[in-house]
Structure 1
Amino acid sequence: MSDKIYVGVDVGGTAIKVGICNADGDLLHTFEGPTETSKGTDTILQNIAKYAQQIVEESSYEWEQVDGVGVGIAGFLDIPNGIIKFAPNLKIENVNLKAYLEQVLGKRVLVNNDANVAALGEAWAGAGKGIPNCVCYTLGTGVGGGIIIHGKIYEGYAGMAGELGHIAIVPDLEAIQCGCGKMGCLETVSSATGIIRMAKDAVERGDRTSLSLVPNIMAKDVLDAAKAGDEVASRIVNRAAFYLGKSMATLSVVLNPECYIIGGGVAKAGEFLFAQIREVFEKYTQDQAKENVKILPATLGNNAGVVGAAGLLLRS
């Protein structure tokens, strides 16, 4: 067996997901193990290395076929040197993950931000397969993102490129403070958290809405109520879609990507949400910048991170 394989690792606060991919981005084998964050940094690092080895042992492949290991992790990183400056969810600070793994595994290792690798996964082997220039949004607790140019992650000067959730897009009179400390970020209106906040505010104001009957409002409740014709819920979803579409209109005259890919829990609302985003994008985007540009749902789901992490070895 001589075909090369690429191991991707997606490090989360609860679980570490690992996958084996071939050079075409096909996911050949997967494995998942506990992060064990409570046991400290050494245990987390050991688990990353252990699971990377274990997935190959459990597969039909040999360790000699592994061309490298890619890792996606949330936090503030020195990407070129593979150093975790600070990962709040993991309580890791100033650790050279790349150096540690290369020593333990004896393979080349690349490390990048989790949102970047998820974007790369979708661009390499998901909704954006075959499209060299695309921008990916992840609509979850926050709004994550990644920019892919000529098939590779664009990181920017200090690794901050692709922080789409922190585009300051909401006008001052409507803006609230984001978790990042700034005002009017996209994340405050287009994330699951933002949608829930707007719904709770409406209920507290006494707006007439079916959401007042929901004891613990989730983003899905708001989206479902909007689909059912609830006017208040519809306004909230329309607002989330409006600022997403406007952010894409802005990016189109800066980056001019061929497509936008949207994933995450909020994106599960499907065409109901996507149609509203496309309408805003069409309205606000300069003609040449929107010509033949697609807005697509992500297709890899929870596997985007491991596929993209493996892709770092071929697309960096």
Structure 2
Amino acid sequence: MSGKIYIGVDLGGTNIKVGICSAEGNLLHTYEGPTGAEEGHQAVLDRIAQYVKQIVTDSSYTWDQVAGVGAGIAGFIDLAEGVVLAAPNLKWENVAVRRELEERLNIPVAINNDANVAALGEAWGGAGRGVQHLVCFTLGTGVGGGIIIGGKIVEGFRGMAAELGHIKVVPDLEAIQCGCGQMGCVETVSSATGIVRMAQDAVGRGEVTTLSELETITAKAVFDAAKDGDEVSIRIVKRAAHYLAKAMAAVAVVLNPQRFIIGGGVARAGDILFDEIRKVYKLNVPPVFTEGVDIVPAQLGNDAGIVGAAGLNL
């Protein structure tokens, strides 16, 4: 087949996912294999190169059609040098990923933070198609983020822009300490971890809730209980949505995005979450920041990282 293709690599602590994307951001083929992080970074980089070559071989495309390879990595990255300064889940420090992969593949390589590439993936091939200015919140174990302005990732001075989970929105008297060391970050209430903590606290206080009947409380269980009318669960969902919307409002008056995209496991809660977010957001910004602005769920799910990594070479 003719035309350029773009290869994305989503490097996780357990598995490496590789995908081929078209120039339009469509995911055409995927390949997945173990990371083997315990073998050290050289073995992992060898494996990435092997998987990249394998996916092209298994497809109907040729190596000459590959425009570049991109990789999304969870960690702190020196973007200018293409060096992973620290990746705790891989136990990496100061690994020159870009240079090492370019030597193995003899093709341009770009790397970036995993949250940034997930945002780029949604912008290029997901819920942000055709939108030049957008902000992504990813609600999972923590709250991640990515900012796209003018179609480009906003990286910041040291490549650490869009740490949206660490916007401080919870009032001091209600705040708890975040994993980052600060008090009152949105991550403490709007992540899956935060939602479970609030539910466990309610059960521990002896509040009347169906959640007390569960052996294990999950964020999904809280949302399901809220949909069934459990008042404690409804309060928890509203609190998570309230502070997320407050963080979004703070971002809106600085960046004026056209679209907010919310992804991650928590975002699968649906209308019970999104209706509250939209309501609180509108109450916390001047009307000009609501006109033409929408708040939508992500579309790509676990493929966002692959698609976004492929898009790093556009």
TM-score of the aligned structures, taking structure 1 as reference length: 0.98
Stretches of 4+ moved more than 6 A in 1?
A: none
Where does residue 130 of structure 1 map in the other structure? 130
Where does residue 293 of structure 1 map in the other structure? 293
Separation in 1, partners of 2:111, 2:80: 8
- Kindly provide the amino acid, as one letter, of the partner of residue 154 in structure 1: V
Separation in 2, partners of 1:97, 1:305: 17
Q: Is the 8 A contact 2:76 2:160 kept in 1?
A: no
Q: What is the 5 A alignment of 1:263-274?
A: 263-274=263-274
Q: What is the 5 A alignment of 1:69-80?
A: 69-80=69-80
- Kindly provide the amino acid, as one letter, of the partner of residue 278 in structure 2: R
- Kindly provide the amino acid, as one letter, of the partner of residue 312 in structure 1: L
Where does residue 7 of structure 1 map in the other structure? 7
**Displacement after TM superposition at 1:38 (Å):** 2.0
- Unmatched 5+ stretches in structure 1: none
Separation in 1, partners of 2:98, 2:42: 14
Where does residue 185 of structure 2 map in the other structure? 185
Separation in 1, partners of 2:81, 2:288: 39
Q: Is the 8 A contact 1:7 1:70 kept in 2?
A: yes
**Displacement after TM superposition at 1:289 (Å):** 1.4
Q: What is the 5 A alignment of 1:208-227?
A: 208-227=208-227
- Kindly provide the amino acid, as one letter, of the partner of residue 111 in structure 1: I
**Displacement after TM superposition at 1:49 (Å):** 1.2
Q: Which range moves more in the overlay, 35-44 or 21-30? A: 35-44
Where does residue 260 of structure 2 map in the other structure? 260
Pair 1:48 & 2:39 matched: no
1:264-305, CA deviations, whole angstroms, 9 ceiling, x for partnerless residues? 100001111100000001111111111110000100111100
- Kindly provide the amino acid, as one letter, of the partner of residue 226 in structure 1: A
Separation in 2, partners of 1:92, 1:56: 28
Where does residue 29 of structure 1 map in the other structure? 29
**Displacement after TM superposition at 1:15 (Å):** 0.7
Pair 1:243 & 2:243 matched: yes
Pair 1:165 & 2:165 matched: yes
Separation in 2, partners of 1:156, 1:109: 20
**Counterpart secondary structure, 2:274:** helix
Separation in 1, partners of 2:13, 2:219: 22
Q: Is the 8 A contact 2:13 2:37 kept in 1?
A: yes
**Displacement after TM superposition at 1:50 (Å):** 1.1
Where does residue 146 of structure 2 map in the other structure? 146
Where does residue 64 of structure 1 map in the other structure? 64
Aligned residue-pair number: 314
CA RMSD after TM alignment: 0.8
**Displacement after TM superposition at 1:2 (Å):** 4.4
Q: Which range moves more in the overlay, 37-46 or 60-69? A: 37-46
- Unmatched 5+ stretches in structure 2: none
**Displacement after TM superposition at 1:82 (Å):** 1.1
Q: Is the 8 A contact 1:252 1:290 kept in 2?
A: no
Separation in 1, partners of 2:30, 2:171: 44
TM-score of the aligned structures, taking structure 2 as reference length: 0.99
